Amino acid sequence: MAGLGEADEAELQRLVAAEQQKAQFTAQVHHFMELCWDKCVEKPGNRPDSRTENCLSSCVDRFIDTTLAITSRFAQIVQKGGQ
């Protein structure tokens, strides 16, 4: 990039990569929310019934567990790559 020093260009690339990761995470969360909504909510109302609450809670728990497992696996891969 014209006019930027090497350190500035590296910092800019790091910031762009971080923003892309945030955007990907946000898109995944929105997709997950749609999946749980479609799976659990039959008819929206003022207050969800207990079946809907339990379904949403289970769906969220599965999402969190899966996210933690994937994050842990990526951390292991990165750690092995750095050795």
Q: Is the pLDDT score of 82 beyond 70?
A: no
Cα distances from 63 to residues 2, 28, 33, 45, 77, in angstroms, run 43, 10, 10, 24, 21
Q: Identify whether the C-beta of residue 56 lies closer than 8 Å to the C-beta of residue 64.
A: no
Task: Tell me the per-residue pLDDT of 49-73, one tens digit each, with 9 for 90 and over.
Answer: 999 999 999 998 998 898 889 888 8
Tokens of 4: 């930027």
- pTM score: 0.58
Which tens digits make up the pLDDT trace of 32-53? Answer: 889 999 999 988 888 989 999 9
- Going by pLDDT thresholds of 50, 70 and 90, the confidence category of residue 2 is low
Tell me, what's the pLDDT at 57? Answer: 92
Question: Domains in the chain and their CATH numbers?
Answer: 6-82 (1.10.287.810)
Q: Residue 63 contacts by C-beta under 8 Å, 6 or more apart in sequence?
A: 32, 36
CA angle 56–50–58, rounded 5-degree value = 25
